[in-house]
């Protein structure tokens, strides 16, 4: 991470890379087992290849970001943008960023922020003959294909968050924040890894409002 101070600006940039050491938790292992089972029954390697593609162990995740803060008198402006890429199906490419504005009036700092999150849907693995199974195994094959498709759709997220708040710096060592967040996701994606009941409606309507009160404090020194 690099930090640059110039005039009233503080500019930070950094990058990181991690390797997943563990497998993805349930329900992925169960889905992988079923895919490999169907691969053997159908004599088609593609479901088994799809099962391998769903795992995260041994895959990597890379992130880069840049952040700028400008403070002059009572005014403080911040901006951030970050990009995450990965070779894992469970961690699709992600853009994230925010911009905020605050103005100090004595011990009070009213502020506003707009944040953006965009998570791309991972490419759905080629399930081959699994999508055309007929006979007694058709319901199980259809459910399995639907589960894989649903995971891919669920990982995608396209959302905005608009925030207004008030921070009260009541002491050198602490402050109290009152905040309202309005989250809007037009496509109703969650960015989560989940497999809902087949045919069930999306888990939310893409709109969420959160009211919060936060106490920030530190030990061993002033702010």
Q: Note whether residue 223 is domain-resident.
A: no
Q: Note whether residue 185 is domain-resident.
A: yes
* Model confidence pLDDT, tens digit, residues 46-86: 999 888 888 888 889 999 999 999 999 999 999 999 999 98
Query: With b meaning 16 or more CB within 10 Å and e meaning fewer, what string describes 152-166?
Result: bbbbbbbbebebebe
* Model confidence pLDDT, tens digit, residues 161-174: 999 999 999 998 89
Range of the domain at 80: 2-217
Q: Contact 36/43 with Cβ under 8 angstroms?
A: no
Q: How far apart are CA 30 and CA 17, in angstroms?
A: 28
pTM: 0.78
What is the number of domains present in the chain? 1
């Amino acid at each position: 991470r690099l930090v640059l101070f110039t005039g009233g600006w503080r500019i930070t940039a950094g990058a990181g890379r991690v390797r997943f050491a563990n497998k993805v938790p349930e329900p992925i292992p169960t889905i992988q087992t079923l895919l490999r089972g169907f691969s053997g029954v159908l004599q088609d390697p593609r479901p088994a290849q799809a099962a391998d593609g769903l795992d995260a162990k041994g895959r990597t995740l890379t992130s880069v970001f840049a952040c700028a803060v400008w403070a002059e008198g009572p005014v403080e402006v911040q901006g951030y943008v970050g990009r995450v890429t990965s070779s894992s199906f469970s961690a699709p490419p992600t853009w994230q960023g925010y911009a905020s504005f605050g103005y100090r009036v004595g011990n009070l700092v009213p502020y506003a922020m707009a944040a953006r999150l965009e998570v791309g849907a991972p490419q759905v693995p080629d399930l081959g003959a699994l999508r055309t199974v007929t006979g007694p195994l058709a319901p199980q094959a259809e459910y399995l294909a639907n589960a894989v498709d649903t995971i891919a759709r669920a990982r995608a997220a396209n959302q905005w968050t608009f925030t207004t708040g008030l921070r009260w710096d009541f002491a050198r060592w602490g402050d109290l924040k009152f905040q309202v967040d309005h989250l809007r996701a037009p496509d109703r994606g969650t960015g989560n890894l989940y497999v809902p009941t087949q045919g069930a409606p999306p888990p939310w309507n893409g709109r969420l409002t959160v009211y919060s009160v936060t106490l920030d404090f530190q030990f061993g020194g002033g702010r």
